[in-house]
Amino acid sequence: MASFLENYCIFVGDLGADVDDVLLMTFQSQYKLAVSAKVMVDPTTGFSKEFGFIRFFDEAEQ
């Protein structure tokens, strides 16, 4: 069994500017079991960089 600390992430690009962590996680959860979702934000402007990452518990869930 995989360690929870292992990094099983996928890159998600071409997100709309209005997509946040909650929306990305909600949409993604319709298909696979994800641990977390993170949309990257520009620290200066606070605007979405329109890409993010989804983390899974193990490699098989990707």
Q: How many domains does the chain contain in total?
A: 1
Residue 6 is predicted with a pLDDT of 62
Residue 18 is predicted with a pLDDT of 96
* Strands of 48-56's sheet in order across: 8-12, 48-56, 34-41
The answer to whether position 25 is within a domain reads yes
Q: What is the tens place of the pLDDT at every residue in 6-62?
A: 678 999 999 999 999 999 999 888 877 888 999 999 999 999 999 999 998 876 665
Where does the chain have alpha helices with state H? 21-28
Q: Find the CATH number of the domain harbouring 47.
A: 3.30.70.330
pTM value? 0.79
The answer to whether position 53 is within a domain reads yes
The answer to whether position 2 is within a domain reads no
Residue 1 is predicted with a pLDDT of 44
The answer to whether position 3 is within a domain reads no
Say yes or no to pLDDT of 2 above 60: no
Domain span at residue 23 reads: 8-61
